[in-house]
Structure 1
Amino acid sequence: MTATATSSAATAQQGLSSASSARRPGTADRGLEFSIPRSSRPGLAGADEMSEEDRLWPGRVRRIGREQLCRWSLDSLCEPVELCLSELVTNAMRYGQGPVVDVRLYRTASHLCIEVADGSPDRPVLGVAGSDDESGRGLVLVDAVAESWGVTEDGTCTWCRLSVLEEQP
């Protein structure tokens, strides 16, 4: 199983730079985007129905996000970005309906933007988790750390923005 996980992570990382530079020539360092193939049956609600492979992706995406932030010298954003990426990807893997989950991380002059598309027209909502609940807090956490978040009109993509303050070398 470890070989598969490493292979999948390496495959995703290999496609990152080509996907971002192919999308917008001349701005390869402004962002990255990649697709995560789902191995669970799309649309199953809950962690119990997620495959072992799909459960590994939020951690992989956190590491990929951290690497990109280090390239941009935005180390101070690592923790909130990792949290947002992890929660949005986990939700997409659990509740999404498409065969892939698309992740996009890019920056503007003033913001770092995260977009996660899962192919589901069902709009996510802030949950109200009880003190003993093991899930249901993801979007509440995103709401707490991101400057703003939302869902595209068609419901297939959840996004968030965090303010960027350039770090001094």
Structure 2
Amino acid sequence: MNATATSGAAPARQRLSSTSPVLRFGTTDPGMELCIPRSTRPDLGVEGEMSEEDKLWPGRVRRIGREQLRRWKLDDLGEPAELCLSELVTNALRYGQGPVVGVRLYRTASHLVIEVADGSPDRAVLGVAGCDEENGRGLALVDAVAESWGVTEDGTCTWCRLSAPEEQR
């Protein structure tokens, strides 16, 4: 997964983990899981191109995520969670290698965790996008709103963690 960020962005708070955050952060909440079938065949297309069907998925995932947050009474995390979901899912669909993209949301006592698995061993990295570039700012946005984010050791899952407001813990 390739990703870049704007120049002058704050230093990344990326944390690399050898296991899924669900094991690191500990939770008994099964959360919400989605399996998105990719219509773009990465082995046949140009890296970074998405089919018209795949372009619809980030918006769908935002809406599904927002509804799950309502159920958990975490409405205050709606905007940052939607942004993180959208950026991570877009990157996975654009640069991932597997036939499906897996999305998981779950909550701990104090956080919302978002995981997106794309089947690619290529790690997502925070880079630098030029002023005239239309793409390449997704991870910079995730870095700006998430408390922490990272990539599993095998590179197949990018995750982020958002702090729940005190009154919703």
Pick 1 or 2: higher relative contact order, CA cutoff 8 A, min separation 6: 2
SS of residue in 2 equivalent to 1:135: coil
SS of residue in 2 equivalent to 1:97: coil
Letter in 2 for 1:129: A
Is structure 2 residue 47 aligned with structure 1 residue 45? yes
Provide the residue aligned with 2:154 in structure 1. Answer: 154
Residues in 2 aligned to 1:74 and 1:42: alpha-carbon distance in whole angstroms: 35
Residues in 2 aligned to 1:119 and 1:41: alpha-carbon distance in whole angstroms: 13
Structure 1 residues 167 and 73, CA, compared in 2 at 3 Å: closer, same or farther? farther
Deviation per CA, 1:130-153, whole angstroms, max 9, x where unpaired?
Answer: 111100000000000000000000
Identical counterparts, % of pairs: 81
On the 8 A contact 1:74/1:167 being kept in 2, the answer is no
Given the two structures, how large is their TM-score scaled by the length of structure 2? Answer: 0.78
Given the two structures, how large is their TM-score scaled by the length of structure 1? Answer: 0.78
Residues in 2 aligned to 1:167 and 1:68: alpha-carbon distance in whole angstroms: 18
- Number of equivalenced pairs: 139
Residues in 1 aligned to 2:52 and 2:127: alpha-carbon distance in whole angstroms: 25
Residues in 1 aligned to 2:73 and 2:110: alpha-carbon distance in whole angstroms: 14
1:127 deviates by 2.2
Q: Say what the alpha-carbon RMSD is for the aligned residues.
A: 1.4
> 5+ unaligned residues in a row in structure 1: which ranges?
1-25
Provide the residue aligned with 2:131 in structure 1. Answer: 131
Deviation per CA, 1:98-121, whole angstroms, max 9, x where unpaired?
Answer: 000000000000110000000000
SS of residue in 1 equivalent to 2:113: strand
Deviation per CA, 1:5-57, whole angstroms, max 9, x where unpaired?
Answer: xxxxxxxxxxxxxxxxxxxxx84xx51001000000126422xx311100000
